[in-house]
């Protein structure tokens, strides 16, 4: 199994050097634009975005700084303007950059053949065609237009869907539309358990 | 949550029961502390002394699973001592409603029980009605059939002595707790409840919460600042994923999944559209047909909802015992699914009886696992006890974009829909979940178009492209527009003219004829022609809003930006706040307008009953809709250390979900200890995200079990030694943490020990971190929701031996 690894330490060195370089000269322009506490934290050479913590549902605000050159996050911290957390975070929120910038994070699709003892790297296009084929075969095989009483039910009980409270709202809606247009009735996720 | 996080600061008494917010929702505790600093009292009732207990004014230890005894006793205490808020109870709850004369309750069973099917026929749980179908009432509350009298009789059995004997607690603790909390029955005081999975994950989970909701209604604590019934939700978007209904029984906006008997849209709408002939009942669900038609239109934009209704899959029945998580896993275990998606989820560690889940995954032909990191579900075929060469399941792992690499909204526990922007680019171009769904949908569509197949219409006609942006790919902003909905043709609604393509301003404008689409009526008003309100970052407030800390211009909250639900119950029939010092809304008689929060309907005060989502408009002390009874009743967990309890001869919830063939430990000497699972500050859920984060793993590196000094002495355990936890389902190792935080309970004269375990670990990472606590949890659950009973079950704890290593 091959997982692409990045050296976070190396990025850290670059970041420190960049900060030393830009630190004095470019700072002034940014100070002039300060509207709120969050933007006062912005480093000249980063893109600054706001987000919401991905762990519990308190919904704390986070500020993310991204290196414009590498497009990688270099810092995630509490959003001082957010009315709920007002800048503070718990241990998980404070560590949340490691969800994204992590050498153990896989970035390639993996496939395991039946009875194989390993995953193989496969392109997404290949996986997509294969998964769509499997969905169609399962659906075609198990689709019920009518139940035992002769009522129209148009469903498949051959496929189950589990997940996910980790998706954004828009993705949840896409997921439910995907599953229900296929006719799935076994649709469940974390909220149940 | 009926209220929201900032609102907790207004409470006069905060009951924390079934949760541990100081550790599991740490930032919420900011508001608990603020309330405390203003003089509020904080009570923590929990089997284990946690950091929440340490910060509370009162800690009440109780045996896991005994909540309904304690809360039922509080109802009796309120009724006996007349501590209810009478005006609120009389005007806003169904206390005065007359219940059918055929309703009965005998020895732990309500009328209508069928022992063959273990279900209730609820026909005797109805109200007596007049010729218009409006419930008959007795405002004097003296009629023996009125809810108030029935409640009084029902809870008369819940005496402090009996409660303490079964819960293993001190009578003085119990009475102090009752006294402190029920003081919030005064009109100008409010009490709140902060609960989480410590209440839901029981075979009586729903009734745990209902009992508390009844207490809140009796004390007039719903709809007010610092009050409400507040579920501390665990996953960042579990509120949103529930609102969008990734659950078998509901469709987006809590519409019902159709059943086989409802063969047309008209029949379906008729079944779920309540009718009230009381002119003072807003009966909001009377709008149901508008919401169902708009949802169908959002899914199949080019078809008439009457036709596309036919394409929605139909359930045989609505039973959790057939379709919810536990029966679904059982079905997988029996090899009845050929394929499965495990998306952003790790059921090999989060499902109860994880061994059964893991074996079940091996009965599939194929499985797609999408996640940020490798996890025990995607890699189940090489897990402990598995021989990959014998596992057929064709398995895919799809890596996804992280939450800061994509944009979209999530909804917090207080129903705030908050936008997240993309910071870094997706790592090496990985896709977001939304992109995966849209690309898979298009590919499946292509196959059906080219080859035909089983009933292709719903697949071929589904308008996924309504979610796409200008580059013909999934687009969160566009999907948010669709979830809100737009007009599909020019039309006039309520005297206002709208053009085709214009956003629907709020759900009050949705139509039942296909002229509007809306992916989720509850989110209608979130993305209007004014823009995407989830993106708002404006902290400004009017003086009234500031007083209640509502932040109406920061993000957006459902429904229609109403920050406190049922807020019409926070004022009297003249619109005057019960608590003038902390009003949520108030009627301004001069301008004839409400000020403060968005009211639960803009009607003048006193003209509508406040609980507008209920058919009759009243808070339901008597709740005839539940699977296990219209009133809460005490039952032991399905695995328990006692043969009887003092309230009835019915030991367990007779309607609970379970599998007859699977053993349960009831007073089984092989499994003598009560166990519960819980969460830590430093890890999250199965740990599938946090176990890969070095900072967090360093702080909590491996599986442990908390054991009292008394139990350690009894079994000869040393602090830090490796022990084995076992149940009829399986076993796992854990490091013994011998602690003062657990104390033995004396229950019916017997000394009982409880142990507790986090469930964040799994075999894949970190090395030597241990495995999931769910290897020992049982497949039993609540009859209404199907949630497994992770919080009270029986185990043995013994030394880990060389034989165990094998």
Report pLDDT digits (tens) over A146-189: 999 999 999 999 999 999 999 999 999 999 999 999 999 999 99
| A121 close contact with B: CB closer than 8 A | no
Q: Are A188 and B248 in contact (CB under 8 A)?
A: yes
Give ∠ CA A58-B699-B712 in degrees, rounded to 5.
105
Q: What is the number of other CB atoms lying within 10 angstroms of the CB of residue A117?
A: 13
Q: Which residue in A50, A90, A129 is closest to B27 by CB distance?
A: A90
Flag if A135 and B339 touch (Cβ within 8 Å).
Answer: yes
Flag if A168 and B409 touch (Cβ within 8 Å).
Answer: yes
Q: Pick from B94, B132, B124, B97: which is nearest to B275 by CA?
A: B132
In the block, tokens 């030597």 appear at B768
Last residue of a domain, one of A78, A105, A132: A105
Give contacts of B693 with chain A, Cβ < 8 Å: 95, 98-99, 102
Q: Is the pLDDT of residue B619 over 90?
A: yes
Q: Note down the domain range covering A80.
A: 43-105
> Is the bond preceding B766 in cis, omega lying within 30 degrees of 0?
yes
pLDDT band of A37, cuts 50, 70, 90 = confident
Closest-CA residue in chain B for A128? B440
* CB proximity list for B182: less than 8 A, separation 6 or greater: B74, B77, B78, B81, B83, B219
Flag if A176 and B694 touch (Cβ within 8 Å).
Answer: no
Please check whether residues A125 and A52 belong to one and the same domain. no
Please check whether residues A163 and A113 belong to one and the same domain. yes
Q: Kindly list the distances between the CA atom of residue B160 and the CA atoms of B63, B77, B81, B122, B173, in Å, as whole numbers in the listed order.
A: 15, 9, 14, 31, 10
Please check whether residues A81 and A119 belong to one and the same domain. no
Q: Is the pLDDT of residue B539 over 90?
A: yes
The arithmetic mean of pLDDT across residues B752-760, rounded, is 98
Please check whether residues A124 and A179 belong to one and the same domain. yes
Q: What is the number of other CB atoms lying within 10 angstroms of the CB of residue B250?
A: 18
Flag if B342 and A183 touch (Cβ within 8 Å).
Answer: no
d(CA B698, CA B682): 10
Please check whether residues A134 and A176 belong to one and the same domain. yes
Identify the pLDDT of residue B68: 98
Q: Which residue in A105, A136, A141 is closest to B373 by CB distance?
A: A105
Q: Is the pLDDT of residue B385 over 80?
A: yes
Please check whether residues A113 and A188 belong to one and the same domain. yes
Structure tokens that stand for B774 in this block: 């769910």
In a domain, A180, yes or no: yes
Identify the pLDDT of residue B722: 98
Last residue of a domain, one of A54, A78, A105: A105
Indicate the number of domains in chain A.
Answer: 2
> Is the bond preceding A168 in cis, omega lying within 30 degrees of 0?
no
In a domain, A139, yes or no: yes
Please check whether residues A73 and A91 belong to one and the same domain. yes
Those of residues 24-63 in A touching chain B at CB distance below 8 A are: 47, 49-62
Report pLDDT digits (tens) over B505-527: 999 999 999 999 999 999 999 99
Give contacts of A150 with chain B, Cβ < 8 Å: none
The arithmetic mean of pLDDT across residues B353-369, rounded, is 98
In the block, tokens 């029996």 appear at B334
Q: What is the least distance, in Å, from the CA of B292 to any CA of chain A?
A: 14
Closest-CA residue in chain B for A63? B423
Q: What is the DSSP-derived secondary structure letter of residue B295?
A: H
Report pLDDT digits (tens) over B645-682: 999 999 999 999 999 999 999 999 999 999 999 999 99
β pairing state of B531-532 and B408-411 = unpaired
Please check whether residues A184 and A127 belong to one and the same domain. yes
Closest-CA residue in chain A for B337? A158
| A192 close contact with B: CB closer than 8 A | yes
Q: Are B49 and B60 in contact (CB under 8 A)?
A: no
Give contacts of B20 with chain A, Cβ < 8 Å: none
In a domain, A120, yes or no: yes
What stretch of H or E contains B673?
strand B673-678
Q: What is the least distance, in Å, from the CA of A115 to any CA of chain B?
A: 4
d(CA B297, CA B301): 5
Q: Which residue in A152, A155, A168 is closest to B263 by CB distance?
A: A152
Helix (H, G, I), strand (E, B) or coil at B110: strand
In a domain, A23, yes or no: no
Across A93-149, the runs of DSSP E, i.e. the strands, are: 110-112, 120-121, 143-146
Closest-CA residue in chain B for A79? B537
B724: phi then psi, degrees, rounded to nearest 5 = -110, 130
Last residue of a domain, one of A105, A134, A154: A105
pLDDT band of A28, cuts 50, 70, 90 = very low
Identify the pLDDT of residue A27: 36
Q: Are B627 and B655 in contact (CB under 8 A)?
A: yes
In a domain, A188, yes or no: yes
Identify the pLDDT of residue A41: 66
Identify the pLDDT of residue B137: 98
Flag if B244 and A176 touch (Cβ within 8 Å).
Answer: yes
Contacts A–B by Cβ distance under 8 A:
475
Across B509-654, the runs of DSSP E, i.e. the strands, are: 527-528, 531-532, 556-557, 585-588, 593-596
Give contacts of B6 with chain A, Cβ < 8 Å: 83-84
In a domain, A56, yes or no: yes
Please check whether residues A93 and A125 belong to one and the same domain. no
Assessment of whether the complete model's pTM goes beyond 0.90? yes
Q: What is the number of other CB atoms lying within 10 angstroms of the CB of residue B379?
A: 22
Report pLDDT digits (tens) over B394-431: 999 999 999 999 999 999 999 999 999 999 999 999 99
Closest-CA residue in chain A for B459? A181
Please check whether residues A131 and A180 belong to one and the same domain. yes
In a domain, A2, yes or no: no
* CB proximity list for B699: less than 8 A, separation 6 or greater: A91, B682
Report pLDDT digits (tens) over B280-325: 999 999 999 999 999 999 999 999 999 999 999 999 999 999 999 9
What CATH number does residue A88 fall under? 3.30.200.210
Q: Is the pLDDT of residue A4 over 90?
A: no
Q: Is the pLDDT of residue A8 over 60?
A: no
d(CA A93, CA A95): 5
Please check whether residues A112 and A126 belong to one and the same domain. yes
Across B249-386, the runs of DSSP E, i.e. the strands, are: 250-251, 255-256, 339-343, 366-371
In a domain, A16, yes or no: no
Identify the pLDDT of residue A43: 72
Q: What is the least distance, in Å, from the CA of A28 to any CA of chain B?
A: 24
Closest-CA residue in chain B for A52? B420
Please check whether residues A152 and A168 belong to one and the same domain. yes
Interface probe, candidates A166, A176, A184, A185, chain B, greatest B C-beta count within 10 A: A166
Flag if B336 and A145 touch (Cβ within 8 Å).
Answer: no
């Amino acid at each position: 199994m091959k997982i692409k690894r990045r050296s976070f330490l190396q990025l850290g060195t670059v970041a420190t050097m960049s900060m030393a370089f830009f630190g004095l000269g470019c700072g002034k322009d940014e100070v002039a634009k300060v509207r709120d506490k969050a933007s006062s934290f912005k480093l000249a050479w980063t893109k600054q975005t706001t987000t919401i913590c991905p762990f519990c549902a308190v919904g704390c605000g986070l500020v993310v700084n991204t290196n414009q050159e590498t497009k990688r996050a270099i810092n995630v911290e509490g959003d001082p303007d957010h009315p709920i957390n007002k800048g503070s975070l718990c241990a998980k929120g404070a560590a949340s950059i490691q969800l994204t910038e992590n050498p153990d994070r896989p970035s390639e699709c993996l496939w395991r053949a039946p009875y194989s003892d390993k995953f193989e790297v496969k392109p997404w296009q290949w996986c997509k065609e294969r998964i769509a084929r499997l969905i169609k075969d399962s659906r075609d095989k198990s689709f019920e237009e009518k139940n035992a009483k002769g009522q129209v039910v148009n469903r498949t009980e051959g496929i189950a869907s589990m997940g996910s409270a980790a998706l954004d709202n828009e993705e949840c809606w896409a997921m439910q539309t995907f599953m229900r247009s296929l006719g799935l009735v076994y649709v469940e996720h974390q909220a149940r358990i | 949550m009926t209220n929201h996080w900032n609102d907790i600061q207004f409470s006069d008494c905060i009951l924390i029961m079934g949760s541990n917010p100081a550790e599991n929702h740490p930032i919420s505790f900011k508001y608990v502390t603020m309330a405390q600093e203003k003089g509020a009292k904080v009570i923590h009732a929990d089997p284990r002394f946690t950091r929440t207990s340490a910060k509370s004014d009162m800690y009440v230890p109780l045996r896991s699973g005994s909540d309904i005894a304690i809360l039922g006793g509080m109802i009796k205490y309120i009724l006996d001592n007349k501590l209810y808020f009478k005006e609120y109870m009389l005007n806003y709850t169904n206390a005065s409603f007359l219940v059918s004369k055929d309703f009965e309750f005998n020895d732990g069973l309500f009328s209508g029980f069928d022992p063959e099917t273990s279900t209730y026929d609820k026909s005797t749980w109805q109200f007596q009605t007049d010729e218009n179908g409006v419930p008959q009432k007795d405002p004097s509350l003296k009629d023996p059939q009125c809810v108030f009298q029935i409640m009084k009789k029902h809870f008369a059995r819940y005496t402090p002595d009996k409660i303490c004997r079964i819960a293993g607690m001190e009578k003085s603790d119990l009475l102090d707790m009752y006294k402190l909390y029920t003081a919030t029955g005064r009109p100008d005081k409010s009490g709140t409840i902060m609960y989480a999975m410590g209440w839901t994950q029981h075979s009586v989970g729903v009734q745990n919460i209902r009992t508390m909701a009844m207490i809140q209604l009796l004390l007039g604590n719903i709809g007010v600042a610092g009050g409400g019934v507040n579920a501390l939700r665990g996953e960042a978007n579990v509120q949103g994923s529930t609102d969008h209904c990734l659950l078998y029984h509901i469709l987006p906006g809590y519409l019902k999944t159709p059943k086989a008997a409802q063969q047309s849209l008209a029949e379906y709408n008729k079944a779920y559209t309540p009718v009230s002939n009381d002119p003072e009942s807003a009966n909001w669900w009377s709008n149901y047909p508008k919401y169902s038609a708009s949802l169908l239109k959002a899914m199949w934009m080019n078809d008439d909802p009457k036709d596309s209704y036919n394409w929605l899959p139909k359930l045989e029945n609505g039973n959790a015992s057939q379709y919810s998580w536990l029966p679904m896993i059982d079905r997988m275990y029996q090899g009845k699914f050929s394929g499965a998606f495990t998306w952003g989820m790790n059921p090999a560690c989060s499902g109860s009886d994880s061994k059964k889940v893991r074996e079940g995954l091996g009965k599939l032909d194929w499985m797609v696992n999408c996640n940020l990191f490798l996890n025990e579900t995607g890699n189940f075929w090489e897990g402990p006890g598995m021989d990959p060469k014998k596992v057929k399941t064709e398995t895919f792992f799809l890596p996804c974009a992280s939450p800061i690499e994509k944009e979209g909204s999530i909804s917090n526990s207080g129903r705030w829909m908050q936008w997240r922007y993309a910071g870094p680019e997706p790592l090496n171009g990985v896709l977001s979940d939304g992109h995966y769904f849209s690309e898979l949908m298009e590919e499946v569509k292509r196959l059906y178009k080219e080859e035909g197949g089983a009933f292709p219409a719903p697949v071929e006609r589904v308008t996924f492209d309504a979610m796409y942006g200008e580059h013909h790919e999934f687009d969160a902003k566009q999907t948010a527009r669709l979830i809100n909905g737009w007009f599909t043709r020019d039309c006039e609604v309520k005297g206002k003219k709208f053009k085709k393509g214009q956003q629907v301003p709020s759900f009050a404008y949705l139509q039942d004829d296909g002229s509007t689409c809306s992916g989720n009526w509850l989110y209608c008003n979130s993305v209007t022609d004014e823009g995407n309100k989830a993106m708002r970052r404006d902290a400004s407030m009017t003086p009234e809003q500031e007083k209640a800390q509502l932040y109406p211009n920061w993000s957006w909250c459902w429904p229609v930006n109403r920050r406190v639900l049922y807020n019409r119950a926070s004022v009297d029939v003249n619109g005057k706040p019960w608590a003038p010092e902390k009003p949520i809304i108030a009627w301004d008689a001069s301008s004839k307008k409400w000020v403060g929060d968005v009211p639960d309907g803009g009607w003048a005060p006193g003209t509508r009953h406040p609980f507008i989502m209920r058919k009759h408009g009243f808070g339901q002390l008597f709740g005839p809709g539940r699977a296990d009874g219209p009133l809460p009743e005490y039952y032991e967990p399905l695995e328990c250390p006692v043969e009887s309890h003092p309230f009835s001869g019915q030991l367990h919830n007779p309607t609970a979900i379970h599998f007859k063939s699977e053993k349960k430990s009831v007073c089984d000497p092989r499994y003598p200890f009560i166990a519960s699972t819980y969460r830590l500050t430093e890890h999250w859920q199965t740990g599938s995200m946090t176990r890969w984060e070095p900072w967090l793993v360093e702080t909590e590196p491996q599986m442990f079990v908390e054991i009292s000094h008394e139990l350690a002495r009894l079994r000869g355990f040393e602090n830090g030694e490796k022990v084995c936890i076992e149940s009829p389902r399986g076993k796992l190792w854990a490091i013994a943490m011998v602690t003062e935080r657990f104390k033995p309970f004396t229950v019916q004269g017997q000394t009982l020990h409880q142990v507790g375990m986090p469930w964040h670990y799994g075999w894949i990472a970190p090395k030597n971190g241990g495995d999931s606590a769910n290897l020992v949890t049982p497949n039993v659950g609540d009859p209404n929701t199907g949630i497994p009973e992770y919080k009270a079950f029986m185990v043995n704890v013994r030394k880990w031996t060389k034989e165990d290593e094998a």
